[in-house]
A = this chain, B = another copy of it.
Amino acid sequence: MGEFERIARLRRAFAAEAPDVALGIGDDAAVLRAGADVVLSVDVVVEGTHFRRRFADEATLARRAAMAALSDLAAMGAEATALLCAWVLPAELEEAAFDGLVAGTAAAAREVGAVVVGGNLARGPGIALTTTAVGRAERVIRRDGARPGDGLFVTGEPGAAALGLAALLAGREDEALLAPFVEAWRRPRAHLAEGRALAREANACIDLSDGLLPDLGHVCAASGVGALIEPDALPCPAGFGAAAAALGEEPERLQLVGGEVYGLLFTAPEGAKLPAGATRIGTIEATPGIRLCRGDAVEPAPEAGFDHFGG
A residues within 8 Å of B by Cβ?
Answer: 2-4, 6, 22-23, 26-50, 71-73, 75-76, 78, 82, 84-88, 117-126, 128, 130, 132-135, 137, 140, 142-144, 205-207, 222, 305, 307-310
Contact = CB atoms under 8 A, between A and B. Distances in A.
B29 A75 contact: yes
B132 A309 contact: no
A90 to B, nearest CB: 10
A32 B40 contact: yes
Contact of A125 (B4, B125, B132): B125
Nearest to A29: B41
B39 A29 contact: yes
B49 A124 contact: yes
A88 B128 contact: yes
A82 B27 CA distance: 19
Contacts of A42: 84-86, 118-120, 130, 132
Q: How many copies of this chain are found per oligomer?
A: 2
Contacts of A87: 44
26 contacts: A2-B310, A3-B307, A3-B310, A23-B142, A27-B140, A27-B143, A28-B75, A29-B41, A29-B73, A31-B137, A32-B40, A34-B35, A34-B36, A34-B38, A40-B118, A42-B120, A44-B130, A46-B122, A46-B123, A48-B124, A50-B122, A88-B128, A122-B308, A123-B308, A125-B125, A130-B130
A73 B82 CA distance: 17
A40 B75 contact: no
A31 B118 contact: no
Contact of A40 (B29, B76, B307): B29
A207 B27 CA distance: 10
Contacts of A130: 42, 44, 86, 120, 130
Contact of A86 (B44, B50, B122, B137): B44
A6 B307 CA distance: 11
B123 A126 contact: no
Nearest to A264: B28
Nearest to A205: B28
A40 B207 contact: no
A291 to B, nearest CB: 21
